[in-house]
Structure 1
Amino acid sequence: MMVEKKKVEKPIVKSVSNRKKVTFKEWWTKTVKFFRDVKIEMKKVVWPSRKQVMKHTIVVLAFTLFFTVFILLADVVYEQLIFKLLLKVR
């Protein structure tokens, strides 16, 4: 008894590059428009004053220092608890 080989059809592979080819002129026009739009939007931005930037920077640094010290102290306390209570070392 012979086994018939079935013909397996290969899937049709469509071209990946279905995008329209952009000419240099179109690309340049879009790029210039993009930067013009960026310039317009940047004029709408309300920038903080130097005083506000300094104030916010100090607040961020203070919180960072506070939480650094807090985590350092918590680490030391937990280390001591683990070694003294659980492992009975030191």
Structure 2
Amino acid sequence: MVEKKKIEKPVTKPNTNRKKVTFKEWWTKTVKFFKDVRIEMKKVVWPSQKQVIKHTIVVLTFTLFFTVFILLADVIYEQLIFKFLLKIR
């Protein structure tokens, strides 16, 4: 008979080399992060109010169109399934 060999997985030790971060170090890193965020936000090119309104109208129009399209497709498929395939109603 063929014996099944146990495959031993290597034991991984938890990472004990991590240095504990003091509150002061954490605070300086946090302050630096928010300063960097502020600098990057100044570089952003924001759209004008006219562009925002235009794009909002486009999104709402497409949403309305696809909502109606899916509603009509659902009604048509429901009628096809119930009337022709299941012969109910």
Q: How do 1:35-74 and structure 2 match up within 5 A?
A: 35-74=34-73
1:16 Cα offset (Å): 4.5
Q: Secondary structure at the match of 2:21?
A: coil
Runs of 4+ in 1 over 2 A off after TM superposition: 12-18
Percent of matched pairs sharing the same residue:
84
- TM-score between both structures, scaled by the size of structure 1: 0.79
Structure 1 unaligned spans of 5+: 1-11
What SS does the aligned partner of 1:82 have? helix
Distance 1:81-1:14 versus aligned 2 partners, 3 A rule:
closer
Count residues in correspondence. Answer: 80
Shift of residue 25, structure 1, vs aligned partner: 1.5
The separation in 1 between residues aligned to 2:23 and 2:74, in whole angstroms, is 60
Q: TM-score, normalised by structure 2?
A: 0.80
Structural mapping, 1:13-52, within 5 Å:
14=13, 16-52=15-51
Q: Which amino acid letter does the alignment assign opposite residue 59 of structure 2?
A: V
Say which one has the larger Rg. 1
CA 15–66 in structure 1, closer or farther in 2 if over 3 Å, else same: closer
